[in-house]
Structure formats: C-alpha cells, structure tokens
Amino acid sequence: MTTFDLLLQQTINGLSLGAMYSLLALGFTLVYGILELINFSHFNVFMIGSFVSLFVLQSFGLSGQEVILTGVPLAGVLLVAFVVTMAFCGGLGVVVERVTLRPLRNVKGPAAMITSIGVSYILFNIILLTVGADSKNFPNPMPAIRWHIGEATLDFRVLLIWAIALLLMGTLYMFVQRSRIGKAMRATAQDAEAARMMGVEVDKVIMMAFFLGSALAGAGGLIFGLYYNFTSFIIGFTAGLRAFTAAVLGGIGNVPGAMVGGVLIGLIEAMGGQFIATAWTDVIIFSILVLVLVFKPAGLFGRIAPNKS
C-alpha cells in the first residue's frame, strides 16, 4: 500500500466515524444551546436507537449477515428502519425531558445534569436486563459492493452512511435556519426570557430540541449497527463521550460546529491510530481538545455567550 492509498483509506475510515460522531454531537449541542444543560442521557438514547433499529430489521426477517437486499426493497427497509428508530428515539427524548428534566428547569446548579446521568444509567440497565448482556449480531442487508481507488477501498455501505448522515444534517440545518420553530429555537437560545416575552412557547421549543437531538441519536445508532454489524448495551459510553468532545471542540451550542467537530474527531482518531498508536487514541483526542480550548475557549466555532441573567 502506498502512503497515499493508506492516507486515503484512513480518511475514509475517519469520515465514517465522523459521520456518527456528528449526528450524536448535534443532540448535545441543540440542548446545550437552549438550556445550557449537558444531557448525559443522550449517550444511551443513541444505544437504544441501535436496539430499536435491530428489532425493526429483525421484524423484516433480517438477521445475521445472510440476507442481502438491493434496489427498492433495500431502500424501503432502510427508510422504515430510519423513520421508526428516529420517531421512537425522538419520543424517548421528549419523555425524558418532560418527566425528569422539566421539573428541575429552574433549579440552579448541577441537579439537572446529575439527573441526566441517572436517566442514562436507567436506560442502560433497562436494556441490560431486558435484552441481555451479550453483544448482538446486527444484520447488514446492504450488498458488498466495493470500489477500489489504488489499494484503498470504499464500500457501498460507507457511501450510503455518509449520504444519509449528510442528508439528515443538512435537513436539520435548514430546519433551524429557515422554519418558524427553528427561528424560535434560535431566539430561545439567545435569550429565553426575551423570546418568551415575544410570544415564543419556550416549553415547546425545548421539547423540539430534545426531539430533534434524540431522533438524530437514533439515526446514529442505526448507522452504528449497519457499519459495525453488532450492538451491545455498552456502546453508548465511548461513542457518546467522543461525540460530546466533538460538540465542545466545534463550540457547544453551535450547530455547524458540532458537525465539523464530529468529523474532526473522527479524522483525529483515524490518523492518531495510524501515526501513533490506537492505545493512545483518547490521549490524542483530549490533548487536541485541551489545546484548542486553551487558545479558543469557546471551541472552534463557538462564541462566548453574552451573560444571561
């Protein structure tokens, strides 16, 4: 393998990781932007998304790696899987907000954040106790089409994953920028009090942020399963932590920042593994994070928020 092919392959690997981190980072950023809350339950909403999509695929008779679909059936199955998973996770996010976080909305200090850690563990244990402790084989219905660029290979499923991730992120961005409720979200993020006075229904906006963030996490969970062909109750922590790091790196609260941050973390992980060692992955990721924050405390694209009173 030439150095160029190797770098190309690692870039492909890094972008695939990055697509997942970006989807997950968006959930952290949407909620933080509005509530200034780090929502740790997001880790395991992602994990539950992978299980929901596993059940959906199994209900289509897909299990293991044997069944391969193409064309319309593939598109149909994936569409249903994404819609059901995203709707379920979005709903789960709304329920988590309504039941556990809203009552703490006006409580000062870290109570809400600690609660979200607790919720995260509850979700984690629900899956552990109902589905079991072992890793599950995740079906891969996509045909094994590969393109070779030099000695680097690009899988059809990787390309599809990128396309889906881009589509979802683009849609979210347009939604936040253009739609009425998107405008309300941005207004609430700037100043909730003033937004309320202008007639914005803040509760609705917060619910929307949780729904969108959690739905994207669900999509991330499905993509995780399709890419790695396994899932387990434990997958939320490492992916969640890296995605959270991505959100901070991009400037937490900033939607394009989370997308770019996710891709950067993915690429750093791939290149760090290539040129240093995978054993050092976390050290490399967090060293870069610290360096960025020292020089740009608000992250790459973040602004220091004006003091909210």
Q: Which parts of 142-161 interact with another protein (CB under 8 A)?
A: 155
DSSP-derived 3-state class of residue 231 = strand
Please tell me the count of residues contacting another protein according to CB under 8 A: 42
Q: Which two tokens stand for residue 205?
A: 């906006």
Q: Decide if residue 238 touches another protein (CB under 8 A).
A: yes
Q: Which parts of 94-113 interact with another protein (CB under 8 A)?
A: none
Q: Check if the beta carbon of residue 30 is closer than 8 Å to that of residue 255.
A: yes
Amino acid at 198: M
- State in angstroms the smallest separation of the CB of 274 from another protein: 5
CB nearer to another protein: give 73 or 275.
Answer: 275
Q: Decide if residue 162 touches another protein (CB under 8 A).
A: no
Instruction: Say how far residue 139 (Cα) sits from the centre of its chain.
Output: 21
Contact residue for another protein among 60, 126, 274, 288 (CB under 8 A)? 274
Stretch near another protein under the rule CB under 8 A, chosen from 10-18, 53-61, 68-76, 298-306 = 10-18
Stretch near another protein under the rule CB under 8 A, chosen from 9-17, 83-91, 200-208, 210-218 = 9-17
Element counts in the chain: helices (H) and strands (E): 11, 4
DSSP-derived 3-state class of residue 152 = strand
Using CA atoms, how far apart are residues 177 and 75, in angstroms rounded to an integer? 29
Query: Could you give the string, one character per residue 41-80, with x where binding to another protein holds by CB under 8 A and - elsewhere?
Result: -----------------------xx---------------
Q: Check if the beta carbon of residue 6 is closer than 8 Å to that of residue 274.
A: yes
Q: Decide if residue 179 touches another protein (CB under 8 A).
A: no
Stretch near another protein under the rule CB under 8 A, chosen from 84-92, 202-210, 243-251, 272-280 = 272-280
Supply the DSSP symbol for 39. Answer: -
Q: Check if the beta carbon of residue 273 is closer than 8 Å to that of residue 14.
A: no
How long a stretch of residues is the chain? 309
Q: Check if the beta carbon of residue 150 is closer than 8 Å to that of residue 233.
A: no
Q: Write out the residues near another protein by the rule CB under 8 A.
A: 1, 5-6, 9-10, 13-14, 16-17, 64-65, 124-125, 128, 132-137, 155, 224, 228-230, 232-235, 237-239, 269-270, 272-274, 277-279, 281-282
